[in-house]
Amino acid sequence: MAKATGFMEFERQNRAEREPLARLGDWQDFLLPLAEAPLQRQGARCMDCGIPFCHEGQILNGMTTGCPINNLIPEWNDLVYRGQWRTALDRLHKTNNFPEFTGMVCPAPCEAGCTLAISEPAVTIKSIERAIIERGFAEGWVQPEPPPKRTGKRVAVVGSGPAGLACAAQLNRAGHWVTVFERDDRIGGLLMYGIPNMKLEKQVVERRVNLLAAEGIAFVTGVEVGVGLPVADLRRQFEAVVLCTGATVPRDLPVNGRSLSGIHFAMDFLHSNTQSLLDSGHENGRFLNAAGKDVIVIGGGDTGTDCVATALRHNCRSLVQFEIMPQPPQARTADNPWPQWPRVYKLDYGQAEAAARFGQDPRRYCLLTKRFEGDENGRLQAVHTVEVAWESADGNGRLALKELPGTEKAWPAQMVLLAMGFLGPEGTLPDQLGVAQDERSNVQAAYGSFQTNVPGVFAAGDARRGQSLVVWAINEGRGAAREVDRWLMGETDLP
């Protein structure tokens, strides 16, 4: 245990953030690092629980609590408190291939499961995790580790998001020759183009990709398997294939006026922004620009927040975010006990920036979009909404949406960003491979085996489970690698 009375002596200290209005002028990380002494005090707050819910990822009431990759959290909290940073890094890498990613973009379900969170603010697990890996890179402790010998087996990983990269890293560690195929021009998938730079700086992604390449993984960009590379050629060249293509089909909003110019899916907006930023610092103009526009983001979650923050950095004229659900309560309710993920109101980084810019939280709750209005040239000019209430539909706790008469409103808008989640993976590649899919188009492959109905073809991450967290993608990538290794070799030593 780090310090027997640490949780009573020290209060939670979060990483400081750069001042919201100042950071709107750039695309750099908005968080500031904690110094070593405060980090050690934060590690001292860990109680080394007899049953540590923090590092056992599970789904409770439809939400993740605890760490899906089973990070050895109490161990490295204790090691940080004692100043044993190198050993802490070794323990962290035992379960997590990419702690720099999870330490920046994971919503920290581990903290939701922290026992201290029953009555006090949770241990700052996420901040400590990020500090450990950044200390490791700064000290030169993180170096390429190619496998000592090769098996001669060749595996193709399709998709270079967190699931694909984790799968490739583990298979390479087992000694297989791994090639990762990515249809975009840069490696990283969601990490590269789905998350904006101020939340995950792209040199952090490139740093890890370069490390994986130095360990022997081959990366092929600009090639879409099933289009630029025929499936028959892929199967002929590789003994196993792992589908890590993500769930990239966005949920649409089929209301009147949907075809008007100015309505975009969130990922098209975020992707084009980051690509133009990296290619030219936005000089080439090849991005969906919110500058000077009244912007409405429809949908919440991390993607909605990222759209809010990106539009603000474009210097939009106004910004509103619609959510169809009610505003969450300020504290846990009786039907949301620990260790469930806390469904409580919070001001995320994008909303905090909008509040600093416009004077209030941009979110408007219990709003239903009824139609889009355009001008004579087919360009969006307004969004029409109605307020709704959620009422009990039956005795089983299910709720039904009811429109409230007299609450109709027209909102000026020249840009709408649809951030309502994703339906599943695109169907072209699964169809060509002949793999079975469920009713939501997810590739059918049982969790634990990750094998599809086609011998030698596996699936992991959002392509298999549907839209989920980065940390679940890493979990699945590691699990799929273990089963591919077992299928190729008859046994496996991969964790």
Checking if the pLDDT of 1 tops 70, the result is no
Least confident of 41-55, 141-155, 161-175, 364-378: 41-55
457-459, strands of its sheet edge to edge: 218-221, 177-182, 154-158, 240-243, 457-459
Q: DSSP character for 54?
A: G
Q: Read out DSSP for 117-142? A: GGTSPPP-HHHHHHHHHHHHHHHT--
Within 152-209, strands assigned E span 154-158, 177-182
> Would you call the peptide bond into 339 cis, given omega within 30 degrees of 0 as the criterion?
yes
* C-alpha 90, offset from chain centre: 24
Beta strand pairing call for 63-65 and 263-265: unpaired
Q: CA-to-CA distance for 73 and 53, rounded, in angstroms? A: 10
294-298, strands of its sheet edge to edge: 263-265, 415-418, 294-298, 318-322, 363-364
User: What is the tens place of the pLDDT at every residue in 282-306?
Assistant: 999 999 999 999 999 999 999 999 9
The share of the chain scoring above pLDDT 70, in percent, equals 99
Structure tokens at 85: 């940073």
**What is the reported pLDDT for 392?**
83
**What is the reported pLDDT for 396?**
73
- Cβ-contact 68, 57 below 8 angstroms: yes
Checking if the pLDDT of 50 tops 90, the result is no
**What is the reported pLDDT for 398?**
81
Half-sphere exposure of 45 (CA within 13 A, CB side): 22
Instruction: Say whether 221 sits in a helix, a strand or coil.
Output: strand
Please identify which residue in the block is written with the tokens 């004077």. Answer: 359
Beta bridge partners of 424: 249
161-168 average pLDDT score: 98
454-470 average pLDDT score: 97
256-260 average pLDDT score: 98
**Residue 345 confidence class, pLDDT cut points 50, 70, 90:** very high
Q: CA-to-CA distance for 31 and 14, rounded, in angstroms? A: 10
Beta bridge partners of 412: 382
Burial class (CB in 10 A: 0-12, 13-18, 19+), 2: buried
123-135 average pLDDT score: 97
User: What is the tens place of the pLDDT at every residue in 352-394?
Assistant: 999 999 999 999 999 999 999 999 999 999 999 999 999 987 7
Q: CA-to-CA distance for 307 and 279, rounded, in angstroms? A: 20
**Residue 221 confidence class, pLDDT cut points 50, 70, 90:** very high
- Cβ-contact 418, 372 below 8 angstroms: no
Checking if the pLDDT of 251 tops 90, the result is yes
Q: Which domains does the chain have, with CATH numbers?
A: 6-139 (1.10.1060.10), 154-248+423-489 (3.50.50.60), 252-420 (3.50.50.60)
Q: What angle do CA 248, 251, 254 make, to 5 degrees?
A: 140
Q: CA-to-CA distance for 387 and 91, rounded, in angstroms? A: 50
**Residue 399 confidence class, pLDDT cut points 50, 70, 90:** confident
Q: What does pLDDT average to over the chain?
A: 96
Checking if the pLDDT of 112 tops 70, the result is yes
